[in-house]
Each structure stands twice: as C-alpha cells, then as structure tokens.
C-alpha cells in the first residue's frame, strides 16, 4: 500500500539525524502541493472519523461516503474500503457507529458495497467463532447491529438467536461453563446497537430475546467469588458480592426497554438533520440486503484467553455527585465496554489509546458528559437535567477496571500504567485530579481490597509518581505514619516508598516527603553499599569472613576457601551452633559483599561460586534457608536487590521454591509474630516465586508434544505435582495465621488473642490466603483445559494420521 | 508480518535508525550507534530480518548516574531480564548513558518497546530500540572522548549526562555551569 499521506516525502535527507530532530526542527520544507488519490483520502478520513469535535457528524459521514461513491471506479479504493471498514471495527471500536453511518450512506448510491461487506464480515465472524476470539466476534456484531436498517428481514436477530441456542447448550451441559455466559454477554452488548440503529422496530424481538437471556445472565457464576475485588468481611456468612457484568447488563437493558429504548448515550450519526429531506428519504428507501447465514460450529472453544466471569469495578462509586454513569444506567456498561475494548485492542500504541480516552466524548452522543476538565467541585453547580458525568473519570475508571481485573488482565500491568501516564501527559489538568481522587479511594479501601490488587495499586502508584517528579500530596496521610507498621495504611506507605526508592534513590525520595515520613527512610538506604558485618570484630567469625571475602576477590583456589570453611564449622561445633548454617552464612555474605557494587557484579560472583552455593544449599534445609536469611540481611535496606538475587538463585536451583515459601511464611513470619505478612516485599517475594513455578508448569502443559513421549509426560507430571505441593505448603502456613492458631500468636497473646496487633495479623493472613487459593484454583482450571486440549489434539492426530499437519496447527497456537 | 497495516502506527517497530543503518554504512562507516560491533556486520543478508526474534533492547538517553538496579526495577515490568549490559565510557569504564536489556523472549522485548520506551526512568525520558543482540565490545562508547558520540558536540547543558558536549566543554564550562536548568538532573 502506497504511503502518499506519510510525512517526510521519502527522499533522503542529506542532513544527519541528530538527537531531538523530531521535536525541534521541522525538516520537511514547504508542503508539497498535490491532491492525494481518492483511496488515500478515503483511508485517511475514515481512520480519523469523528475525531474532530468541531465537525458535525452528518457532514463528515456524508462527505466520506460521497468521496467513496464518486470514485467507485477506482479499483484500489473499492477493494480497500471494505477491508478498512472491517479493520476499524476491531481496531478502533469507538468509531464503529460512524463507520457504519458511512456504509449506510454509501448504500444509497452504491448498494453493491454492502453486499461485498456482508460477504466478508460473515466469513470473519465464522472464523473468529471458530478460533474462540470472542471479542472480535462481538465487535463485528456491533458493526452489523449498526447496519440493521439496511438488512433484509430480521437482520441480526437470527444470528443472535442462533448464538443464544448455543449458549443454552453449553450451560445445560456444564454448570461451570464460561463460554455460554460470554456469548450471552455478546448478545446483550449487541442488542443496544441494533435498537439504536433501527428505533422502534424490534421492541418485541428484543423483549423475547431478553426474556431468554435472563436465566443465564442472572445466574450467579461459579468462579465469581474468586474474582471479587474486595476481601469478604470475616464473620458474615454471605458477604455482599459485587455485581457481575452480565447480570448488571441484563437489568440495565430491562430498564432501558421500560424506557422505550432511549439509549441516550449512543451516537446516531446516521440521523441526518430534518432539512436534508432528500438524503433522509434516500436512506429510508435504500436497498435492503440479505445477511448471509452465519454457521456456528457444533463445538465452540474458549479461545486463546481463558474466560472468567467479569465484575463491574469502579473507583468512583458512592460519591455525593455522580461523576460516572450510575449502575442502573446502561450507559455505564456500554461506555465501559467500548473503552475497555479500545484499551485492550490498541496495546500497540498507548499514545493513541490515551488520545481516544481523552477524546471519548467525541464518540458518544452530545450532552452525554459534562464539559471536559470540569473540576469535581463544580459538578454540583450543573443544572438538574444536565449530565454530571466527567469524561476524565469515566476514562480513568475504565483503565483501573483493567488494572484491577482478576485473575489477570489481558495485557501486562505495565501497559495500563503507561496508558495512565500518557493520558496524564496529554491532558494533565483534566486527568491528574481524577487520578488523585482514584488514588484516595483506593487508599481508603486498601484494607479491604484484595491483596493482589492492593499490591498492583502500590506498584502502579510508585511507577506513576516516578514519571511525574515523585510529587504527591503526602501531607494528607500524615497521621497514618504513626499507625502500627502492620496497619494496612502504614504498610502501603512503607511499600510505596520502597518502590519509589527502587526507581530512584533514597535522598531524592526523602526530599519529596513531609518531615514525619522521613523517619521511614533509614540512613542505611542512603549508603551506596551495605555495611559488611565482618568488618566489625564483634561479629562472630569476623576474621574468617574477611579472609573469605579477600579470597573471593582475588579469585583464589577452592582449596583455600575450603580450609576456612572447615575452620568455621569446627568453631561452630565448639560453640554448639549449627555448623552448616554458620559456614553458609559467612560464605553467602562474602559473595554478596564481593558483588555489592552492582547486580552484574553479584551475578558474576554467584556464577563463579555456584557449585559451592549449591552444595551448601543441598546440605540441609536450614542451610538453604540461611542463604535467604543472609541475602535479606545483607540487602535489608534495599529489599529490591535482595529479591532480584533470590530470583537468580532460584534460576540456578540453588534455592527451591519451597525454601522461599517456608522462609517467608514460617520462619520470617514466625519471628515477627506474623507482622512480616504486612511487608510488601515479603509478599512480592512469595508471589514472584509462585508465578515462576506456575509459569513453568503452564509452559510444560501447553508444549506441543507427541502423546507417547514418556520423558515429557514424566517431567510434566513431576512439575505439576511439585506445584500442587507448593500450594499446599502455602495453604498450610497461611491458614494458621488467618485463624490465629499459629503457635507464635497463641504464645504472644497469653490466651487472650484479641489485641489490635493480632487482629491485624489475622486479617493479613486471610488476605494472603485468598490470593494464593485463587492462584491455585486458576492453575487447576488451566490444567483441566490444557488436558482437554491435549486429548483433542491426540484424537486429531490419530484420526487423520497426518502428523506434520497437526504439528503445524499446534505451532500456530503457541 | 502481522497482516495488513494497522489503522494506527505500532510502537514496537524498530526505529528508522536501525532500518537505515545498513544502507548508510556503505558510504559512512563511522556512523554507527555506540557499541556497534563491526565484525558482525560483514555479511548482512537483507532478506533475513535480524530483528525477527530479537529479545534485546537498546536503551538510550539514560542519566550517567542511573544504576543497574534502577534499570532492573523498571524493565522487569515487561518480563524477567536475562542479562543487562551497561554502556561504559571506553576509557573510564563508568556508565555513559546507555545499556542493553536482554529478555528471555521476543514478546517481552516488543512489550518493552510498547510500554516502556518513551517513559521516564530516573526522571528522564528514555529511548528504546529493538536490537539484534549484544556482542562483546558494544558496551563501550564510540565517541572520541570515550562516551557516546551524541555527547561529543551536544550544545545543551544536560547535567545527567556530564553537562555540555565534551568536545566543546572546556571553553564554555565556566560560563554555563552557573545557570543550568536545575530540574533536569540532580546532584549526588
């Protein structure tokens, strides 16, 4: 495809490119004067449709449609147009109604275009259903829904009914089915677009369909309890649950049906002004087209992403003035759905994502929102029949709904960070105050927020601040600095400061803080290198420690080190302490000391000593645990460094995942009477370890393999077993903290057991437990699906005996 | 490589720098990025895209004071880091404002381009580019004075990167040092 519309002109610029050229110099020279060919202009205009708020929709869609139909003879244009319409539908979903309007208008003069489009879209829908790419199915159906008025007969309804029939089959077959609910969600989200496109005509049809979906939509979903964003409050037997997205949607649509399908937020760019009588009647009389039958395969698949129930999450709930659509309004779901699709689809250009979010009021009907950047305080002054919905709040809410999606959002968490960063850069005055209110809401709710989400919040918060000069109004939380360390608010502050320091350095962060906070940053954090405890003669084995460090530094022979280790061990025996633990502590501390200059130094030091470290670790459980103790102690001021080192030690198998779990949840937690559970980096360490293990198991179970490769099967089964053991160990350790039955807690409480501190520890235990129980359940679900998939493939291979082809298919899925 | 051209530009494409490099090198052998290894350039095959499976990211515009640990903290958000090589001044062996981050997978490197390139680390907007992979020797600056070429004649005062360009520094140092822009860098 020729890039006529690209800047730069293609010729080689003799001037050397230098840093900042793009920003500071416009090297393009005078604009070339030529009219781009029609296919280029149509492409450009269609892609940018509705972006300009100053241009009336009806004018814009008419002019594109005319440009297209006037140049119908241009083959390049004709071919590209349909493809572009379909591509826009799945790449920029906010623009679908506008693109549809262009098609509707083109239909008045060139009805052939709709036939071309329908043929292609039907094939695409079938393909996407086949591969289980349900979002694409939804987005194509949305486009079809907007075209309802130019479709023959009942238009999209037969497809929706067919889909529903399949959903019913799935739901009756298994109560744990998630595909059926996904299909119902798609139906419910398509319906409003149909009703807006063809007002008044399909009320009965819609009512019939919704009567049917009711049963599935209102049914509580099996896994919903797992993905609740808030920790259920301990004693209540049936804690109130957030609403499932699909249940909410069903009731919102019911409201809308009772309201005569007003759907006031949806844009209707095909509604031409009254004065355009001629065009209006042309639209009404335009050719209707039969929608070719869409065949839905007997067996539908879940697709590349495991499906989970979804929950409607908002950080702007229960405010005195509504700054986002209320839960009973269908606009909440429709706007959220379009924004979430936009966010997840456009992961490859966060700048454009942010642009769409900032411009979101361009894509919904006028007066859906209050004016951009209206301060929250001013919303109160808005008149009675006007919208108080802040577009920035709606946008930020949508990003947070993804950042806080359980079990995992579609894209990496850092993508959502980057979207918020870019939005904030594009429109700081509008977005920053909305983010501030979101942060306050989350901070307030941090004690009851799911621990995994709380940790995501902390990670985002520190990363976000690092992009904006680390400025935050810390003064408003200043009272919380004096709370006990195990209080969730205090723990959040401590964890965030640590994360900020990791991205910057202690002195810098200290300078951003009000006085009371500064005490939270110990002087050790400002040292370039931690103290070497063996430099002090009072430390046991000080001489030996210094000697080993010296030997390591000059890369001495193993035998020399051996001799000293022996000496330490025999001294330890004399002092009646564990000899292996003592020598491991000295050796590991020395390795860390030698590598203290940077991570590469320590990695090189570990690489050189990995055999001795592995031997030390293999000698006893206590010695292995001591490797962690020594690392955490040496880097206590910079836990981030310690965690990176532990990760590498896991890679070398010097440590095992069990060592990490036991160290954190039994020893460390035990030594601190459970307070260690409130420390962010302890959670991070355990969480990362679990992710490492589950990631490896996932890799193994989806790996395409010949069914009778005994070796692979054995490895897989072994890894699965050890993963289950790991989860069991976590469950074991945490359950006693959550119930307060841990020995250390009973001892400390002297029979009482209800002090503030113990209550906090029990809460932490319960929050941890929830996170890892969910992880375990999700991995089990993954194993079940993977097993099914393997069985299916094995059957396939057997059936057609055509191994190479089957291998190809597997490679694609990878 | 991913079907038709997307309706919006992708951020995980290699920069023009890389695309033009092979072409340019024919007549201007000196104009390579710091740390480029001459030996692996001898037998380029234009048909084979060297970035097809690239898992390495070149990171530029770092402050000289940014540490490995900081790079680790940020770049781990896209996936586990396999190896990190800091760019060093050829003579002093101190950081000179770039590094190579190697991931385990190509996808992690692409995600890094999409989500981290153009954001801030240590309060500077950093630049990322897909890279065919680190080879020994590329960790050193290629400027005359040992650092990166771009720091030789730089006319703006950049505190995080040693002030003015080194080639013009002695003559102007005294004059400029008094009125630099304070919120650019920092003192340590």
Average of per-residue pLDDT values in chain A: 90
Establish whether the linkage from the previous residue to A407 is cis, with ω within 30° of 0: yes
Asked if the C-beta of B80 comes within 8 angstroms of chain A's C-beta atoms, the answer is yes
How many CA atoms, within 13 angstroms, populate the side-chain half-sphere of residue A220?
11
Can you name the residues that pair with B95 across neighbouring β-strands? B88
Partner B contacted by A355 (CB < 8 A):
no
3-state secondary structure A221-232: CHHHHHHCCECC
Q: Do B11 and A415 touch (CB under 8 A)?
A: no
CA gap A563, A565 in Å, rounded: 5
Of B6, B68, B76, the CB nearest to A348: B6
Give the confidence band of A703 by pLDDT, cuts at 50, 70, 90.
confident
CB contact under 8 A, B77 and A412: yes
Chain B partners of A350 at a C-beta cutoff of 8 Å? 11, 114-115
Query: Comparing C-alpha atoms, which of A439, A426, A434, A438 is closest to residue A354?
Result: A426
Tell me the chain A residues in contact with residue B9 when contact means C-beta distances shorter than 8 Å: 349, 352
Ranking A556-560, A664-668, B98-102 by mean pLDDT, the lowest is A556-560
CB pair distance less than 8 Å for A508 and B186: yes
Residue B166, pLDDT score: 79
- Please check whether residue B12 is in contact with residue B113, taking contact to mean a CB–CB distance below 8 angstroms: yes
- Give the pair of three-digit tokens for residue A46: 């269609």
> Between A and B, how many residue pairs show a Cβ–Cβ distance under 8 A?
107
3-state secondary structure of B163: strand
Whether B77 and A417 lie within 8 Å, measured CB to CB: yes
Residue A520: closest CA among A505, A487, A488, A498? A498
pLDDT for A20 equals: 52
Q: Is A17 exposed, middle or buried (0-12, 13-18, 19+ CB in 10 A)?
A: middle
Q: Is pLDDT above 60 for A804?
A: no
Angle at A733 between CA A730 and CA A734, to 5 degrees: 80
User: In the structure, what pLDDT confidence band is assigned to residue A285 with cuts at 50, 70 and 90?
Assistant: very high
Say if CB A417 and CB B115 are below 8 A apart: yes
CB contact under 8 A, A469 and B123: yes
Average pLDDT, integer, range A595-617? 95
Average pLDDT over residues A348-367: 97
For residue A311, the SS3 value is strand
Q: Which of A47, A350, A598 sits opposite B115 (nearest CB)?
A: A350
> How many angstroms separate the most distant Cα atoms in chain A?
104
For residue A503, give the nearest of B12, B16, B70 by CB distance.
B70
Q: What is the mean pLDDT of residues A49-72?
A: 95
DSSP A50: T
pLDDT at A23 over 60: no
Task: State mean pLDDT over A3-9.
Answer: 43
Range list of β-strands (E), chain B:
56-60, 81-88, 95-103, 120-121, 124-125, 127-131
Chain A residues whose beta carbon lies within 8 Å of the beta carbon of residue B186: 508
- Any CB–CB contact under 8 A between A596 and chain B? no
- Suggest the residue from B1, B5, B8 to mutate for an interface test with chain A (most A CBs closer than 10 A): B8
Instruction: Choose the weakest-confidence range: A160-169, A221-230, A716-725, A775-784.
Output: A221-230
B contacts of A647 (beta carbons < 8 Å): 80
Question: Do B186 and B160 form a contact (C-beta atoms < 8 A)?
Answer: yes
| Distance between CA atoms of residues A679 and A486, nearest Å | 8
Token pair, residue A618, equals 């293999």
| DSSP secondary structure code for residue A668 in this structure | I
Lowest mean pLDDT among A67-71, A317-321, A427-431: A317-321
B187 lies within 8 A of chain A by CB? no
Q: Lowest mean pLDDT: which of A472-481, A803-812, B64-73?
A: A803-812
Mean pLDDT calculated for residue range A543-551:
96
Residues in Cβ contact with A511 at an 8 Å cutoff, skipping those fewer than 6 apart: none
Higher local confidence (pLDDT), B176 or A749 = A749
Between A107 and A15, the more confident residue is A107
Q: How confident is the model at residue A227 (pLDDT cuts 50, 70, 90)?
A: confident
- Whether B7 sits inside 8 A of A414 (CB atoms) is no
pLDDT at B23: 57
Supply B66's token pair. 């940014």
With an 8 Å Cβ cutoff, is B77 touching chain A? Answer: yes
Per cent of chain A over pLDDT 90 is 78
Residue A600, token pair as written in the block? 């590469």
Nearest CB to B114 within list A17, A350, A599: A350
Distance CA B141, CA B121 (A): 21
Q: Could you tell me which chain B residue has the CA closest to the CA of A603?
A: B83
B107 interfaces chain A, CB cutoff of 8 Å? no
CB-based burial label for A735 (10 Å; 0-12, 13-18, 19+)? middle
Check if the beta carbon of residue A412 is closer than 8 Å to that of residue B113: no
Inspect the interface and report whether the beta carbons of B11 and A351 lie closer than 8 Å. Answer: yes
Q: Which residue of A has its CA nearest to B31?
A: A16
The size of chain A, in residues, is: 814
The minimal CB distance from B7 to the residues A87, A415, A503 is found for A87
Q: How many whole angstroms separate alpha carbon A814 and alpha carbon B182? A: 50
The average pLDDT across A115-132 equals 96
A467 vs B73, B78, B120: nearest CB: B120
- B116 close to A (CB below 8 A): yes
Cβ-based contacts of B120 with chain A (< 8 Å): 466-467
Q: A747: distance to nearest CA of chain B, Å?
A: 39
Q: Which two tokens stand for residue A628?
A: 């962690």
Q: Does B99 touch chain A (CB under 8 A)?
A: no
The average pLDDT across A362-376 equals: 96
Q: Is B16 within 8 Å of A17 when comparing Cβ atoms? A: yes
Residue A809 has pLDDT above 70, yes or no: no
In angstroms, the CA A287 to CA B33 distance is 60
- Token pair in block for residue A801: 């005996």
Gap from A347 CA to chain B (nearest CA, Å): 8
- pLDDT values of chain B reduced to their tens digit, one per residue, 188 residues: 446 788 999 999 888 776 666 555 544 444 445 544 444 444 444 557 888 899 999 999 999 999 999 999 999 999 999 999 999 999 999 999 999 999 999 999 999 999 999 999 999 999 999 999 999 999 999 988 889 988 888 888 988 998 888 777 665 444 444 444 433 333 33
Instruction: Kindly state the tokens that stand for A623.
Output: 């010695």
What pLDDT score was predicted for residue B43?
Answer: 47
Return the residue of B nearest to A509 by Cα.
B122
The overall longest dimension of chain B from CA atoms, in Å, is 56
Burial status of residue A271 (CB atoms within 10 A of its CB: 0-12, 13-18, 19 or more):
middle
| Residue A3 structure tokens | 């890039």
Q: What is the pLDDT of residues A173-199, one digit of tens each?
A: 887 788 999 999 999 999 999 999 999
Give the DSSP letter string of A176-192.
T-SHHHHHHHHHHHHHH
Predicted TM-score of the model (pTM): 0.90
Find, among A57, A92, A94, the residue nearest to A335 by Cα.
A94
What confidence tens digit (pLDDT) does each residue in A144-173 have? 999 999 999 999 999 999 999 999 999 998
Q: What is the C-alpha to C-alpha distance for residues A84 and A102, in angstroms, rounded to an integer? A: 12
Is residue A228's pLDDT more than 70?
Answer: yes
Strand, coil or helix: A198 = coil
ipTM higher than the 0.95 cut: no
For B122, which of A17, A499, A504 is closest by C-beta distance?
A504
Q: How far is B39 from chain A (nearest CA, A)?
A: 24
Contact A100, A61 (CB under 8 A): no
The partner residue sitting opposite B8, judged by closest CB among A19, A346, A641, is A346
**Mean pLDDT, residues A716-723 taken together:** 95
The single-letter DSSP state of residue A663 is: I
B15 reaches A (C-beta below 8 A) = no
What percentage of chain A carries pLDDT values higher than 70?
A: 91
Give the single-character DSSP code of A413. Answer: H
3-class state of residue B170 by DSSP = helix
For chain A, first and last CA: distance in Å?
A: 30
**Cβ–Cβ gap B80/A467 under 8 Å:** no
Chain position carrying tokens 């079907």 = B3
Looking at residues A647-664, what average pLDDT do you find? 96
Q: Which residue has tokens 């992403």?
A: A305
Shortest distance, CA B71 to any CA of chain A (angstroms): 8
pLDDT score at B49: 80
Residue A645 at interface with chain B, using a CB cutoff of 8 Å: no
pLDDT of residue A706: 66
Evaluate whether A491 touches A485 at the Cβ level (below 8 Å): yes
Helix, strand, or coil (residue A63): helix
Between the alpha carbon of residue A301 and those of residues A167, A354, A788, the distances in Å are 12, 32, 11
Q: Per the CB < 8 Å rule, is A418 touching B11? A: no
B115 chain-A contacts, CB cut-off 8 A = 350, 412, 414-415, 417-418
Specify burial of residue A304 (Cβ count, 10 A radius: 0-12, 13-18, 19+). Answer: exposed
pLDDT value of residue A307? 87
By Cβ distance, the residue of B6, B68, B70 closest to A600 is: B68
Q: Which chain A residue is nearest to residue B127, measuring alpha carbons?
A: A19
């Amino acid at each position: 495809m020729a890039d006529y519309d690209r800047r730069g002109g293609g010729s080689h610029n003799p001037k050397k490119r230098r840093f900042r050229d793009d920003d500071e110099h416009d090297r393009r020279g005078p604009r070339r004067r030529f009219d781009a060919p029609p296919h280029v202009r149509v492409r450009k205009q269609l892609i940018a449709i509705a972006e300009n708020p100053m241009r009336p929709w009806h004018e814009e869609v008419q002019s594109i449609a005319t440009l297209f139909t006037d140049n119908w003879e241009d083959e390049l244009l004709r071919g590209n147009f349909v493809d572009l319409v379909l591509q826009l539908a799945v790449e920029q979903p906010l623009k679908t109604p506008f693109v549809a309007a262009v098609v509707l208008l083109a239909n008045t003069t060139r009805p052939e275009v709709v036939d071309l489009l329908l043929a292609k879209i039907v094939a695409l829908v079938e393909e996407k259903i086949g591969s289980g790419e349900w979002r694409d199915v939804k987005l194509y159906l949305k486009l079809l829904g907007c075209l309802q008025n130019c479709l023959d007969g009942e238009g999209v309804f037969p497809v929706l009914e067919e889909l529903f029939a399949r959903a019913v089959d799935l739901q009756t077959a298994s109560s744990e089915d998630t595909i059926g609910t996904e299909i119902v969600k798609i139906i419910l989200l398509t319906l409003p677009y149909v009703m807006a496109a063809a007002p008044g005509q399909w009320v009965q049809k819609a009512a019939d369909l919704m009567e049917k979906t009711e049963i599935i939509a209102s049914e509580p979903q099996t896994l919903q309890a797992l993905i609740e964003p808030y920790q259920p409050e301990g004693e209540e037997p049936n804690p109130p649950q957030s609403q499932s997205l699909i249940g909410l949607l069903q009731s919102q649509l019911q409201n809308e049906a009772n309201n005569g399908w007003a759907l006031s937020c949806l844009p209707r760019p095909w509604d031409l002004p009254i004065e355009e009588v001629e065009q209006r009647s042309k639209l009404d009389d335009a050719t209707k087209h039969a929608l070719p039958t869409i065949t839905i395969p007997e067996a539908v698949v879940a697709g590349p992403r495991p499906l989970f129930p979804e929950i409607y999450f908002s950080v702007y709930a229960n405010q005195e003035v509504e700054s986002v659509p209320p839960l009973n309004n269908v606009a909440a779901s429709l706007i959220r759905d379009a924004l979430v699709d936009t966010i997840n689809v456009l992961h490859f250009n966060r700048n454009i994502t942010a642009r769409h979010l900032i411009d979101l009021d361009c894509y919904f009907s006028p007066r859906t929102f209050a004016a951009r950047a209206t301060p929250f305080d001013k919303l109160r002054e808005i008149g009675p029949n006007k919208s108080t919905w802040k577009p920035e709040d709606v946008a930020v809410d949508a990003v947070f709904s993804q950042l806080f999606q359980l079990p995992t959002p579609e894209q990496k968490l850092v993508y959502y960070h980057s979207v918020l960063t870019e939005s904030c850069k594009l429109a700081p005055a509008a977005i920053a105050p909305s983010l501030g209110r979101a942060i306050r809401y989350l901070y307030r709710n941090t004690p009851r927020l799911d621990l995994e989400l709380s940790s995501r919040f902390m990670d985002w918060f520190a990363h976000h601040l690092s992009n904006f000069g680390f400025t935050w109004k810390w003064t408003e939380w200043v009272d919380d600095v004096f709370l006990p360390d195990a209080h969730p608010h205090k723990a959040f502050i401590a964890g965030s400061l640590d994360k900020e320091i990791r991205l910057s350095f202690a002195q810098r962060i200290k300078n951003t803080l009000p006085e009371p906070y500064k005490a939270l940053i110990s002087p050790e954090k400002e040292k370039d290198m931690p103290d070497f405890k063996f430099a002090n003669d009072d430390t046991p084995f000080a001489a030996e420690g210094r000697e080993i460090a010296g030997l390591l530094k000059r890369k001495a022979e193993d035998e020399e080190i051996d001799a000293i280790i022996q000496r330490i061990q025999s001294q330890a025996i004399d002092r009646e302490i564990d000899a292996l633990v003592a020598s491991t502590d000295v050796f590991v501390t020395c390795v860390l000391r030698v590598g203290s200059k940077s991570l590469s130094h320590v990695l090189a030091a570990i690489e050189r000593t990995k055999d001795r470290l592995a031997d030390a670790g293999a000698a006893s459980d206590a010695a292995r645990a001591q490797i962690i103790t020594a690392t955490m102690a040496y880097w206590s001021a910079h836990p981030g460094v310690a965690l990176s080192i532990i990760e590498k030690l896991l890679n070398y198998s010097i440590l095992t995942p069990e060592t990490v779990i036991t160290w954190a949840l039994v020893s460390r937690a035990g030594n601190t009477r459970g307070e260690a559970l409130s420390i962010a980096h302890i959670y991070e360490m355990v969480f990362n370890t679990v992710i490492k293990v589950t990631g490896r198991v996932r890799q193994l179970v989806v790996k395409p393999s010949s069914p009778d490769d005994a070796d692979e099967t054995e490895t897989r089964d072994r890894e699965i077993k050890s993963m289950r053991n790991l989860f069991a160990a976590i469950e074991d350790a945490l359950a006693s903290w959550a119930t307060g039955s841990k020995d250390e807690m009973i001892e400390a409480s002297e029979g009482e057991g209800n002090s503030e501190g113990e209550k906090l520890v029990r809460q932490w235990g319960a929050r941890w437990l929830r996170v890892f129980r969910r992880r375990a359940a999700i991995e089990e679900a993954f194993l079940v699906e993977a097993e099914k998939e393997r069985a299916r493939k094995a059957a396939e291979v057997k059936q057609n005996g055509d191994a190479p082809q089957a291998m190809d298919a597997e490679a694609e899925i990878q | 490589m991913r079907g038709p051209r997307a309706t919006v530009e992708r951020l995980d494409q290699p920069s023009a720098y890389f695309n033009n490099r092979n072409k340019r090198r024919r007549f201007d052998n000196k104009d390579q990025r710091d740390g480029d290894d001459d030996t692996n350039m001898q037998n380029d095959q234009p048909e084979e895209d060297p970035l097809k499976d690239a898992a390495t990211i070149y990171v530029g515009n770092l402050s000289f004071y940014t540490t490995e640990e900081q790079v680790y903290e940020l770049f781990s958000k896209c996936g586990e880091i396999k190896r990190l090589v800091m760019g060093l001044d050829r003579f002093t062996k101190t950081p000179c404002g770039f590094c190579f981050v190697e991931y385990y997978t190509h996808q992690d490197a692409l995600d890094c381009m999409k989500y981290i390139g153009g954001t801030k680390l240590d309060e500077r907007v950093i630049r990322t580019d897909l890279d065919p992979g680190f080879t020994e020797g590329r960790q050193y600056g290629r400027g005359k004075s040992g650092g990166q070429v771009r720091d030789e004649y730089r006319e703006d005062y950049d505190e995080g990167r040693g002030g003015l360009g080194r080639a013009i520094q002695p003559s102007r140092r005294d004059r400029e040092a008094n009125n630099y822009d304070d919120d650019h860098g920092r003192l340590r």
